[in-house]
Structure 1
Amino acid sequence: MDKYTLLIVDDEKDMLEGLKRILPYELENTKIKVTSNPHRALNLIKQNLYDLILMDVRMPEMDGLELLEHVKKADPAGTIIMMTAYGSIEIAVQAIKMGAYEFVTKPFELPDLVRQIKKGLERSRLIRENMTLRQEISEKSVFEDFVGQTKPMKKLYETIYSLAHTDYSVLIRGESGTGKELVARAIHSLSKRRSKSLVTVNCPAIPEHLLESELFGHKKGSFTGALKDHTGLFVEAHGSSLLLDEIADIPVSIQTKLLRVLQEHEVRPLGSNKNINVDVRILSTTNQDLEEMIRYKSFREDLFYRLNVVSVSTPSLREISEDIPLLIHYFNRKVASELKIEAKKISTSVLESLMRRDWPGNVRELQNFVRRMIVFSGGDEVDMSSLQAVDSHNHNQSSGTEEVPVYESELYSEAKSRVVNQFTEEYVREMLSRTNGNISQAAKLAGMSRVALQKITKRLEINPESYR
């Protein structure tokens, strides 16, 4: 079986035939393809990845530098050796700057050429192995926060893999707390767009009068308060993916403009008379019945079909109840890491009790419950007393009968500081919970700057990642 692939491109047919005849004896396990037409070479490169491309600098239909530029776009990691006459050294040096691996001068000695080709093939092998290893590591890390071995979860993993390798718009549907954003991030992280960060917007968290500007951008002076130009999220996401979280909450007026962007692949910032081309993959989530909203004219049917090219559903905790023990142990380790303590033992009675419960808030509700159990447990084990303490705390909060803080013999300044810190921590955690750990959106909800909120989370040792 051939280990390497080599493509030779040269308009001198005698040279091609000679290399095609001689090189197989010098290069073991190497499949050699030759062509005198640079346009055909480009088509071959688009169809197959070659370990090494050996090409002439001067060709009549397309010179080697132009072909090199096209090749590097098709295969940025490709290894290319340029062949040049003695009088074209400057061009060869330019080719190196453009991404060629090496150049050889004509006429060349066969041993020198073979040595360069072998070095190039070895380089290509190392690059490909490194890329494969990085991809494997990346794929493993993508699913680190996915827990579950039930049939619905295995189906979800398979769906994520299959959708990741397409460029279709994906609508992710499911109840609140089922990890819809997590699925979107996994699809993006496994896609060809993964080199650029996923851009997210929490639709219900942004007021209607700001959402249009946030999505499409605006020019300075386009409305009251527009003190400078603003790049919209579509432009920011160019070449990447844009997650429209809870898409059902977008007002109809903005739905119309969003539809035009998806149809035309261009945006026009508020106050501008110029369109900007955008290449963006759309991922959107919803926990609402969009078909019902279409019937009541609160969601555009044509936009629905643009967003729902492919659909994926996240299972509720009711559907994966057998995974609850795995989830509890996972959250136990995660919270222990956040608090910088040893993971606690979870008693069997607690596991059995939690498996019997209803979880309308799904995985997110379970995660918050486990976090509270660990905080309320005094020893090394989370037992039924810890569970009952959380139940009592939750009941007091929901009934408005939470105990008044006891100030004991504290000084006023000490008591005030403690109560303010307690309020601040609860408030910040609530904002992060509402926005699934999106610190920018949490800051907007709180009416403060992102930097200010980051300082608070750092001071209180709150990790926004734990809310995602």
Structure 2
Amino acid sequence: MTDEHKARLLIVDDEEDMLEGLRRLLGYEMPHVAVDTASRPSQAVARVEQELYDVVLLDIRMPEMDGMEVLAALRRKDPWLTVVMMTAYGSIETAVEAIKKGAYDFVTKPFDRQALIRVLEKAMERNRLIRENLHLRRRAEGKPPFEQFVGQSAPMRSLYERIQAVARTDYAVLIRGESGTGKELVARAVHSLSRRGQRPLISINCPAIPEHLLESELFGHKKGAFTGADRDHRGIFEEAHSGTLFLDEIADIPVNVQTKLLRALQEGEIKPLGDVKARKVDVRILSSTNQDLEEKIRDRTFREDLFYRLNVVTIRTPALREIPEDIPLLATHFVRMACEELGVSVKRFSESALEALMGRDWPGNVRQLQNVVRQAVMFSPEDVIRAEDLRRLETGFGGNVGGGRKAAGGPGDGRVVPYKDAKERVVEEFTSRYVRDLLERTEGNVSRAAEMSGLTRAALQKIMRRYGIRSEDYRAFSNHSRA
């Protein structure tokens, strides 16, 4: 192992013989560690300022500067530094003082060789965990709070301001808005900006969990509480303790679970299924819905008292039709994302294409716009995506790409197509068109088409068989075109 890949240890002691003895001992016993030495406190402080050390082994008695002073100076240079103190004066009072001032551990002279190695190995591991967590935290903190939001319109600026104001409190927040308007992004922003930002954010999609399992998922259960409960299970309330719980699509929670959720919010405690004891929890609640909760209260399918518990503060996410001036910014942002996802050269929209996007209806909001942009990047042959490329996409997909109202409602005669059927139809049309376009581009070369699409050859052939697509048809087409 080269020195650049080794952990780094700095030994600080004013006795040269001690330094040399420890350097040899630890170099032999810990070959995975690069050992440096410093005989003066000022030299140690300078080294820590210039280099990143995993552990410092520091003598507590030195003439130039007291070891406690050196400890403080080192931690000012690197607050996350792991320091082990060593001394011939092994009193408990000295050990406690050193640890109170930030030392990780304490060893006494003369050393027990194996005890010293164990302490240093534990210190190395502790340092590794701290540095990893610090790195992750800095990566998260280095991102602007609204990095994933795009838009500078007045409604979006108002949204940013409201998120920041709400984040400073611990109130329950109800996030309301149409599907595809970024309600989950709002929840994540509120959490990350709050005092709980370094604690867990646990999300649960309420309609995705069967009713008979939802209570167990929320509150947990004891072994034997019901058939199949073969072990204790911690609910998401406990998982989110000291953090934030995001209940997505809260309107779909059954009334019987609403009652137990209300009790948990009122009492600040939960009782797992099959348990006789309640457990205290400290959780901030964020919830979201795209439904009319007031109407559901009138229909007695949503508890009014729960509504007021959840709706201490409301945040509304604007629909895309309310912020048309942000569509060029969004489309440009999604183009960059799609190009990265697909591994293609950077593309951009022409002015006419952006105007076309701004002039459309978007019932699926930002999520629908992103899907259209992905398709435009995928199927547009040039680096500039033009309005005619968007029209060609509409033609290829039966007019449903781009968000006319027919896409949500059905064939155009006012009849509402069931969601599952409409989704299957769009997916089939997309898949068929995608594969045909691939084969046109590769002149029927299935291997090359599979490579371009990221599919295996076998998977692509399976799709072709399903839709009755033959590669030879595209080879013939290409030969005919060249003729």
Superposition pairs of residues 301-450 of structure 1, within 5 angstroms: 301-395=304-398, 400=425, 402=429, 417-420=459-462
Aligned residues: 310
Superposition pairs of residues 25-64 of structure 1, within 5 angstroms: none
Contact 1:139–1:190 (CA under 8 A) maintained in structure 2 = no
Q: How far, CA to CA, are the matches of 2:365 and 2:241 in structure 1? A: 34
2:111 aligned residue: none
1:232 aligned residue: 235
Quick check: 1:300 aligned with 2:342? no
1:442 aligned residue: none
Give percent identity, aligned residues only: 54
Contact 1:178–1:314 (CA under 8 A) maintained in structure 2 = yes
Quick check: 1:191 aligned with 2:233? no
Q: How far, CA to CA, are the matches of 1:377 and 1:283 in structure 2? A: 40
* Greater C-alpha Rg: 2
CA RMSD of aligned residues (A): 3.3
Query: 1:338: Cα distance to partner?
Result: 1.4
2:96 aligned residue: 94
What are the Cα deviations for residues 146-176 of structure 1, in whole angstroms up to 9, with x where unaligned? 1111111001111111111111111011111
Q: How far, CA to CA, are the matches of 2:269 and 2:320 in structure 1? A: 40
| Residue from 173, 177, 183 that aligns with 1:174 | 177
| Unmatched 5+ stretches in structure 1 | 1-76, 79-86, 103-130, 425-468
RCO greater where, 1 or 2, for CA within 8 Å and sep 6 or more?
1
1:395 counterpart SS class: coil
TM-score w.r.t. length of structure 2: 0.59
Contact 1:200–1:243 (CA under 8 A) maintained in structure 2 = yes
Q: How far, CA to CA, are the matches of 2:223 and 2:399 in structure 1? A: 50
Q: How far, CA to CA, are the matches of 1:275 and 1:423 in structure 2? A: 57
Q: Residues 202, 364 of structure 1: CA spacing in aligned structure 2 closer, same or farther, 3 A cutoff?
A: same
Q: How far, CA to CA, are the matches of 1:297 and 1:177 in structure 2? A: 27
Query: 1:423: Cα distance to partner?
Result: 11
2:166 aligned residue: 163
Quick check: 1:253 aligned with 2:281? no
Quick check: 1:266 aligned with 2:269? yes
Contact 1:266–1:278 (CA under 8 A) maintained in structure 2 = yes
Q: How far, CA to CA, are the matches of 1:410 and 1:312 in structure 2? A: 50
Q: How far, CA to CA, are the matches of 1:284 and 1:185 in structure 2? A: 11
Quick check: 1:153 aligned with 2:147? no
TM-score w.r.t. length of structure 1: 0.60
Quick check: 1:216 aligned with 2:219? yes
| Unmatched 5+ stretches in structure 2 | 1-78, 81-88, 105-133, 401-406, 412-424, 448-455, 467-483
Q: How far, CA to CA, are the matches of 1:136 and 1:396 in structure 2? A: 42
2:315 counterpart SS class: strand
Q: How far, CA to CA, are the matches of 1:215 and 1:420 in structure 2? A: 41
Q: Residues 150, 409 of structure 1: CA spacing in aligned structure 2 closer, same or farther, 3 A cutoff?
A: closer
Q: How far, CA to CA, are the matches of 1:423 and 1:193 in structure 2? A: 52
Contact 1:374–1:386 (CA under 8 A) maintained in structure 2 = no
Q: How far, CA to CA, are the matches of 1:138 and 1:340 in structure 2? A: 28
What are the Cα deviations for residues 366-408 of structure 1, in whole angstroms up to 9, with x where unaligned? 0111011111111212123321232134327776594597797
